[in-house]
Structure 1
Amino acid sequence: MARENPGWGYRRVHGELLGLGHNVAASTVWSILKQAGINPSPQRVDRSWAAFLKAQSSAIVATDLFHIDTVFLRRWFVLFFINHGTRRVHIAGITRHPTSLWITQQARNYLMDLGDHAKSIKFLIRDRGAYFTDSFDAVFQAIGVHVLPTLPRVPRMNAIAERWIGSCRREATDRILITGERHLRLVISEYAKHYNQHRPHRSLGQRPPDLLTKPEPPTTTHHHRQHSRPSTRSTRRPHPRIHAGRIG
């Protein structure tokens, strides 16, 4: 019971055993767990936020909004979603005025683009920006997704999304003078394509998100035959008896 339920301490296991009709003392349960090398305390499980993200990564999607200033001092906002398990990023939209109605519509479009894959999402992480309203949350809650707002001034709770923003700035937008909306859309879409299809990720075994399948190792047994060749570097003459025999 303790191995299958890491959050149970010896008291919980004792109660479950009593419910099953096994009349044993709590101290006996404690001793059995100790002898088996299992900590009787229920705190043997890491309950940190990082542990939760790692355990549920395949079912978590994060979203965020960041701004880009053009050379003409106009500010544009980019809304994106990123899957924690695959690290695949989806650019939802670009606008100068991120209103609640606009962001809610981008959330609907995102789920429509996912199709049946939307069923795999169980949690959505977002910050507490005023543009993420109840109508935005309702789009995801309608399909059974739990919306998890981050704590105020704790950007590490949305670290995956924040890291992508940093990568996008360092590798793309900070290296180019953006002239306008059309130029920004081109730069962001090209970088997202590069990020998903080519850029290696340490968490994915140095593979990009779209190439998660491990390539088969090369083999020489199917298409190539190996042949041994006598060394031509030796200058020693063969023994005379070798030529005396019959060949064939």
Structure 2
Amino acid sequence: MSSYEYYNFPIQLIEGFLDDTKKVLINISHYCIYRVFIDNFEKYSGSFTGYQKACEDFGIEFKNVAASYQSGKELYDSTVNKSPMVGMTSEIYWDYMNNEKTEFEKVLLLGDLAFKSILGTKSYIKLDNKYWFSRMDGSVKSITKDELSPKIQRYLNEYQTKKIKNQLIANWGLSSYSRYNRGFYISYKMTLDDLAYHAEKIRKSTQDKKIKNDVKSAHEKAMERLAKENS
């Protein structure tokens, strides 16, 4: 049993999840334990025995503790200050570690983690499917469909993206809103009604600003024409 409710890690670590789920989850545990170990120096005394205690607190027993330490250190050093962080509950972690999951169930977890890595501490955000799927593939930046891993690529179509979002809305606490605009809004903190309100408020503000800029541009062009006629 883990003493930690959440496992927080860089989004890059989910790369290859559909190809080797266990390996990715083990890497996540290596990273999380190492980070807790170094962030709580006094608790774990910075010693090898302390690292073993950190493993016990996570409810994990490694056959090769030294190798897990080295793996965690390398993962930490390669991503520190370079990656958006995301977290999953220990309950979800162990569910996916110990139980067989369909590929679609794995995709749902990736979709959830990707959204949360983009949101960060924000209540809501607007994004598009390309950016969402880039994060599902462990990429910090938005990449093209051709650059995605083959298994992730297969889900980047209208039918599958809608199916994934609907499942996340029904069972994972997601709110999502899109109407007559490019991209879509998401939130895990707001109701659909509140999310729609903020999205439409932004859209109206954007429209009003465009109208104002169009009027300003038309005025400037008119003055230029008048100046030419009077020259």
- Whether TM exceeds 0.5 here: the answer is no
- Which TM-score band applies after superposition, normalised by the shorter structure? under 0.3
More strand by share: 1
Pick 1 or 2: higher relative contact order, CA cutoff 8 A, min separation 6: 2
Give the TM-score taking structure 2 as reference length.
0.25
More helix by share: 2
Give the TM-score taking structure 1 as reference length.
0.24
Structure with the greater alpha carbon radius of gyration: 1
